[in-house]
Amino acid sequence: MEPAEETVVTVKARQENIRRGIYILPNLITAGSLFAGFYSMIETLSGNYGSAAVWIFISAICDGLDGKVARLTGTTSQFGVEFDSLADLVAFGVTPGLMMYAWALKPFGRLGWLAAFLFVVCGALRLARFNVQVETVESKRFVGLPIPAAASMVASTVLLFNHFGWPSSYKRLAILALIYLLAFLMVSSVKYYSFKDPELIKRQPFGFLVLAVVLLIIVAAEPAVMVFVIMLCYVLSGPIGFFVGLPRRMRLEKAMHKGHEEQTHSS
């Protein structure tokens, strides 16, 4: 079959899939995530940055639910994947980018909105790479920082600064440094745990339940501080894991290179 004919067949197949209908429940949850992201922008334009940050977290919760619901109910589809990516770009790319600019980066002028755009474009690149690698990478690990985690890190930072009432001069420098860090991590090859391990939903030791309850109590006691700490730990877990495993990878590569040289000499 010629390439042009293959393209026509693929397009027709997609059209037929759409004609048969789409799954309502997971796509409705995705729409809820998009709504939360859009409403966060409304709150940002109104100057309610704390509320805008909370709505980003609501969007992240919906984003985590739609995929799980689709897998549990057997309603995954290519349409849902594409819709989810578009919703993520708005809710976790454009929304936090606008919030960061309005909240902390506006005094920097052109440098401020360019920094916010850097976050958005790196998030878009992260989503595009995920879509083309979704069938070839390990499901337990993300390659690069997931864009919902990057947006949640920004939102938790806003809540932390509002909680302590730190001066605007601090938040400008902190957000500027945070943007570059998150943008780099999103497009990097650093691996992050995806929480998609099937073992997580199986029977666990009783101590795990106690630990989870204690963690929930601590978060409820100081939500702004603890959510920031949790998100910061997740963001830093990737680079820490990369550097901890670096010596082992170097030894493995050295052994493979040595074996290849011995095989070459023997032949």
Burial (CB count <10 Å: 0-12, 13-18, 19+), residue 4: exposed
Mean pLDDT calculated for residue range 109-127: 93
Mean of per-residue pLDDT scores for the chain: 83
C-alpha 22/C-alpha 78 separation (Å) is: 10
Residue 155 predicted with pLDDT over 90: yes
How much is the pLDDT for 194? 81
Contact 128, 188 (CB under 8 A): no
Measured over the CA atoms of residue 191, residue 34, residue 41 and residue 52, the dihedral's sign is negative
Residue 207 predicted with pLDDT over 80: no
Residue 171 predicted with pLDDT over 80: no
C-alpha 205/C-alpha 53 separation (Å) is: 35
Mean pLDDT calculated for residue range 160-183: 84
More confident residue, 21 or 3: 21
Residue 263 predicted with pLDDT over 70: no
The label of the residue with tokens 């819709």 reads: 83
- pTM of the predicted structure, to 2 decimals: 0.82
C-alpha 151/C-alpha 95 separation (Å) is: 8
C-alpha 145/C-alpha 123 separation (Å) is: 9
Mean pLDDT calculated for residue range 153-157: 95
How much is the pLDDT for 9? 41
Provide the token pair at 153: 């890190």
pLDDT band at 53 (very low <50, low <70, confident <90, very high): very high
Measured CA angle at 182 (ends 181, 183), to 5 deg: 95
How much is the pLDDT for 133? 79
C-alpha 208/C-alpha 204 separation (Å) is: 7
Which residues face 191 on adjacent strands? 143
How much is the pLDDT for 206? 74
Helices (H), the chain: 3-20, 24-45, 49-73, 78-89, 95-100, 110-133, 147-164, 168-187, 206-221, 223-244, 246-266
